[in-house]
Amino acid sequence: MNFEWTEEEALFRLRLQDFLARNLPADWEAVAGHGPGSAELTEFSRLFCGRLADEGLLTPHWAKEIGGQGLDPWHQLILAEEMWAAGEPRGAQYMNVNWIGPTLIKYGTGEQQARYLPPIAAGDAIWCQGFSEPGSGSDLASLRTRATADGDVYRVSGQKIWTSYAGLAETCFLLCRTGDDRKRGISILLVPMDTPGITVRQIPSIIGEGDIHEVFFDDVVVPATARLGDEGQAWEIIAFSLTNERLGIPRYHLARTALDRAVGILKDQGEFVSETVRVEAANAAALCEAARLASYAIVSRRARGEAIGAESSSARFGTVMAERRVAEFIVEYLSESLGDAHPYLKMHHQRGIVAGIAAGAAEIQLNIIASDVLKLPREPR
Amino acid sequence: MDLSLNDDQIAILDTIDTLAKPYASPPMQDISFALTSEELDRELFDGGFLDIAFDPDLGAVSAALMIERLARLPYTVEAAASALIRPLIGADLPRPICLVEEGKGRRPVRFLRPGATMLVVGKAQVSAFTADADHIRIEDTLYGYPMATLVVDPAAAGAVPLDVSADELRTRWRVAIAAEGAGLLAAALASTAAHVTDRQQFGRPIATFQAVRHRLAEAQVRANGAYWLAMKAARTLDPGDAALAALHVQQSAGPAVYDFHQFLGAMGVTLEHPLHLWTYRLKALIGDLGGRGEQGIAAGAAIWG
Ligand SMILES: Cc1cc2nc3c(=O)[nH]c(=O)nc-3n(C[C@H](O)[C@H](O)[C@H](O)COP(=O)(O)OP(=O)(O)OC[C@H]3O[C@@H](n4cnc5c(N)ncnc54)[C@H](O)[C@@H]3O)c2cc1C
């Protein structure tokens, strides 16, 4: 058991920091402040990800055969930590390299791979994830958007909601119903967003512009060749995708970075003196570091090729606790307007509430921990 | 980075598990607050387990792993200070090793008894003496440890300064609190999970009620965090890491103890159920080294200056 980065891992981190220093423009923090779904950041992400790709830093964790360098999950984690700490200049494209690409590689046809992987690997592709619906959030398997087979096409009708990046995305990773079985009746279609019959509406939100959307599908014609995997295979495929996604966002690191920034501001103003404030900062740091190590323990197992189960829910809930505490610390003790303070503090403040909702709500994580880590009997249905 | 156990650590934990097997459940009819075993203590000592951190290859992580594992037993042994602090002060001082902060001499001290080494930890200096019967008053303990209180001033008891850094000692003390606390949290949680799985009300196990499930799941998240923070602190022996680890355990212990007993209902009030053997040790650890406030202040100073 050792907690030190290897020399090679430390160098990889330095290389990323050097890359960021060279490639983030002077007004980068203002760009980042628009939020990951904004037009500004999306546009910048194409430039930035292109440069990452040029230097072999966009998909280094992908296997060699498919254009990566076969670096282990620790490198994927370091990459994610450095990018998110810098305000995530990859914008929406972090999703592509974390899970959309790997999922296409594992389940896609040759034609799908030839069409979609090169732009992803070149850092010039925006995707959105069409899972949630008005009636289907935590209970995702109840989704109703229907894809009806009609010769060699599907006709898709229904509605998605909370879809991040949908306004600017070229392609949607869409879950839809092709059969009646709750889980085995769901299939995945890769749908170009400019297909006639798709309407996107932005939803104003507390996390800034351009993030979440409603997407309407009105008799949208999609070729059957756009189906990823078999009919009814969606549930199996997204289980694979989500294990990759859960490692994707090192929110504990964001929270810790925000906390350190807030403490830095307090110190500069001579206000990091009161014992109460100092103890509260330490409490928040303890939660961040606990969540960090819980996440590292999972990466460590993945790096050794072991299967990961419910413990990722435990790490995620720990991260939710940390994010909330840090967000509270910031509003409670920072004595200047959040607008004047560092733009990332404002972002953290806005995101503190999202932590427990997006990518699987907190109570669902607690249920999973109870059943699958503590092995308690399940709730009656 | 690699957080998996190495071969030495696996071997040590396997041996500890084998050795601890006879102590895995409390004796029938036991109705004590603190369950001790001289035999277990002797086996650990004679087997050299309390000396593993003297070996630089095994180091404090192996000791912390052992302490965490031993804390899960319903029996309590003085392993934490012996394994983590003796490498600083030398192997010659008689066990048990007992710790008190200078100026807090009226607090009961864990494992204190005649013949024990009493370490008095001041801001800048650590002094030691061997306790005898006149120095102490044995407490009818309310905690899960045997305890006694000093009734003399350390100087009057012949305390002599040791050539060790008080800061380093405090750091190891914090690692000890964290590792032991993590094991206690895990064991108390497991005991509670077993109870709520068996116990039926309204025609179903009470473990199927979300109010219960979610609070236990949250305790799991905290216990898991405590474990990893303790191990990291043992590895780095960094003052900030150690303070965060002790802080997290002390912060988590309070609510967990009340939830665990709560979910046992009246059974959790009895001495017949072993839960208190873990939770009452946690209650004692909450107050070590000034409690979470002091841990927070120490962590803040170490991390941000
Ligand atoms: C910023 C943001 C971005 C998002 N981006 C996307 C995206 O790109 N694509 C996409 O498909 N979705 C996206 N989502 C949607 C997200 O996946 C859902 O919000 C999430 O799955 C929860 O669903 P819901 O919002 O319908 O909440 P609900 O399922 O209605 O849950 C509301 C509350 O009830 C609780 N609850 C529900 N069921 C249970 C239960 N069985 N036991 C106990 N409590 C329960 C939940 O834990 C939660 O606290 C995004 C959400 C946010 C906030």
pLDDT over 70, % of chain A: 98
Pairwise CA distance, residues A338 & B134, whole Å: 61
**Which of B6, B209, B216 is facing A374, going by the closest CB pair?**
B216
**B292: its two tokens:** 């979470």
Pairwise CA distance, residues A3 & B5, whole Å: 12
Q: Assess whether B23 and B138 both reside in one domain.
A: no
Kindly report the pTM of this predicted structure.
0.96
Please report, for residues A55, A64, A72, B263, B277, the alpha-carbon distance to residue A16 in angstroms, rounded to integers and kept in the order given.
Answer: 10, 20, 16, 49, 50
Instruction: Give the pLDDT score at A242.
Output: 81
Query: What are the helix (H) ranges across B163-237?
Result: 166-198, 210-236
Instruction: Give the pLDDT score at A248.
Output: 62
**CB-based burial of residue B116 (10 Å sphere; 0-12 exposed, 13-18 middle, 19+ buried)?**
buried
Give the count of beta carbons closer than 10 Å to the beta carbon of residue B198: 11
Does B142 reside within a domain? yes
Query: What are the helix (H) ranges across A86-233?
Result: 93-95, 101-107, 110-122
| Best of A133, A162, A246, A379 for a ligand 1 pocket test (most atoms within 8 Å of beta carbon) | A162
Instruction: Give the pLDDT score at A247.
Output: 62
Partner A contacted by B293 (CB < 8 A): yes
Does B1 reside within a domain? no
Q: What residue ranges define each of the domains in chain A, with the CATH number in brackets? A: 7-125 (1.10.540.10), 128-231 (2.40.110.10), 250-373 (1.20.140.10)
Instruction: Give the pLDDT score at A351.
Output: 82
Does B65 reside within a domain? yes
pLDDT band of residue A340 (cuts 50, 70, 90) is confident
Residue A24 carries which side chain, given as an amino acid letter? L
Partner B contacted by A1 (CB < 8 A): yes
Q: What is the mean pLDDT of residues A290-295?
A: 97
Unique residue bearing structure tokens 């939830």? B259
Query: Over 80: is that where the pLDDT of B241 sits?
Result: yes
Taking the centre of ligand 1 as the mean of its atom positions, its distance from the CA of residue B204, in whole angstroms, is: 28
Q: What is the mean pLDDT of residues B281-301?
A: 97
A156-170, A285-299, A337-351, B283-297: least confidently modelled range: A337-351
Instruction: Tell me the pLDDT tens digit for each residue of A178-198.
Output: 999 999 999 999 999 999 999
Query: Over 70: is that where the pLDDT of A113 sits?
Result: yes
- B260/A206: higher pLDDT: B260
Residue ending a domain, among B162, B177, B195, is: B162
Instruction: Give the pLDDT score at A273.
Output: 95
| Best of A95, A145, A357, A369 for a ligand 1 pocket test (most atoms within 8 Å of beta carbon) | A357
Contacts of residue A123, Cβ cutoff 8 Å, sequence gap at least 6 = A45, A46, A48, A49, A50, A51, A52, A53, A58, A90, A93
CA A381 from centroid of its chain's CA atoms: 30
Does B2 reside within a domain? no
Query: Over 80: is that where the pLDDT of B148 sits?
Result: yes
Residue ending a domain, among B33, B59, B86, is: B86
Q: Assess whether B117 and B221 both reside in one domain.
A: no
Tell me which residues have their CB closer than 6 angstroms to ligand 1: A 128-132, 137-138, 162-164, 207, 211-212, 354, 357-364, 367; B 210
Does B262 reside within a domain? yes
Give the residue among A255, A245, A246 at the shortest CA–CA distance from A287.
A255
Q: Assess whether B198 and B243 both reside in one domain.
A: yes
Pairwise CA distance, residues A72 & A60, whole Å: 9
pLDDT band of residue A8 (cuts 50, 70, 90) is very high
Q: What is the mean pLDDT of residues B212-223?
A: 98
Does B225 reside within a domain? yes
Instruction: Tell me the pLDDT tens digit for each residue of A69-88.
Output: 999 999 999 999 999 999 89
Interface of B with A in 249-268 (CB under 8 A): 251
**A319: its two tokens:** 């991260």
Q: Assess whether B212 and B265 both reside in one domain.
A: yes
Pairwise CA distance, residues B303 & B305, whole Å: 6
Q: Assess whether B174 and B213 both reside in one domain.
A: yes
Give the residue among B235, B219, B241 at the shortest CA–CA distance from B303.
B241
Distance from the first to the final alpha carbon of chain A = 41
Interface of B with A in 86-125 (CB under 8 A): none
Q: What is the mean pLDDT of residues B273-279?
A: 95
Residue ending a domain, among B162, B190, B207, is: B162
Q: Assess whether B74 and B98 both reside in one domain.
A: no
Range of the domain at B64: 7-86
Element (H, E) at A186: strand A186-192
Query: Over 80: is that where the pLDDT of A343 sits?
Result: no
Q: Assess whether B48 and B138 both reside in one domain.
A: no
Give the count of beta carbons closer than 10 Å to the beta carbon of residue A72: 14
Q: Assess whether B217 and B289 both reside in one domain.
A: yes
A314-328, A349-363, B67-81, B182-196: least confidently modelled range: A349-363
Q: Assess whether B62 and B21 both reside in one domain.
A: yes
Q: Assess whether B26 and B136 both reside in one domain.
A: no
Contacts 24+ apart (CB under 8 A), B134-138: B136/B112, B138/B113
Residue A52 · residue A175 · CB < 8 Å: no
Give the residue among B160, B145, B68, B64 at the shortest CA–CA distance from B110.
B145
Half-sphere exposure of A351 (CA within 13 A, CB side): 24
Pairwise CA distance, residues A21 & B180, whole Å: 43
Partner B contacted by A303 (CB < 8 A): yes
**Which of A74, A285, A365 is facing B303, going by the closest CB pair?**
A285
Give the position, in ligand 1's atom list, of the atom nearest the Cα of A360: 21
Pairwise CA distance, residues B62 & B67, whole Å: 9
Residue B271 · residue B230 · CB < 8 Å: no
Query: Over 80: is that where the pLDDT of A19 sits?
Result: yes
Interface of B with A in 179-218 (CB under 8 A): 189, 193, 196-197, 204-205, 207-210, 213-214, 216-218
Q: Which residues in chain A touch residue B232, judged by CB atoms under 8 angstroms apart? A: 3, 289, 293
Across the interface, do B217 and A294 touch by the CB < 8 Å criterion? no
Please report, for residues A61, A62, A101, A102, A122, the alpha-carbon distance to residue A68 in angstroms, rounded to integers and kept in the order given.
Answer: 6, 4, 11, 11, 12
pLDDT band of residue A244 (cuts 50, 70, 90) is low
Does B69 reside within a domain? yes
Query: Over 90: is that where the pLDDT of A208 sits?
Result: no
**Which of A272, A294, A374 is facing B304, going by the closest CB pair?**
A272
Read off the CATH number of the domain in which B235 is found.
Answer: 1.20.140.10
Instruction: Give the pLDDT score at A297.
Output: 96
Does B221 reside within a domain? yes
Q: Assess whether B183 and B155 both reside in one domain.
A: no
Taking the centre of ligand 1 as the mean of its atom positions, its distance from the CA of residue B99, in whole angstroms, is: 49
Half-sphere exposure of B123 (CA within 13 A, CB side): 1
Query: Over 70: is that where the pLDDT of B59 sits?
Result: yes
**B296: its two tokens:** 């927070």
Query: Over 90: is that where the pLDDT of B249 sits?
Result: yes
**Domains identified in chain B, total number:** 3
Q: At how many degrees (to 10) do helices A234-246 and A311-333 cross?
A: 50
Query: Over 90: is that where the pLDDT of A292 sits?
Result: yes
Pairwise CA distance, residues A14 & A8, whole Å: 10
Residue B118 · residue B159 · CB < 8 Å: yes
The mean of the pLDDT values for chain A is 93
Å between A366 CA and nearest CA of chain B: 5
Residue B84 · residue B176 · CB < 8 Å: yes
A144-158, B17-31, B174-188, B197-211: least confidently modelled range: B17-31
Contacts of residue A270, Cβ cutoff 8 Å, sequence gap at least 6 = none
Q: Assess whether B190 and B258 both reside in one domain.
A: yes
Query: Over 90: is that where the pLDDT of A207 sits?
Result: no
Query: Over 90: is that where the pLDDT of A63 sits?
Result: no
Across the interface, do A3 and B220 touch by the CB < 8 Å criterion? no
pLDDT band of residue B229 (cuts 50, 70, 90) is very high
pLDDT band of residue A245 (cuts 50, 70, 90) is low
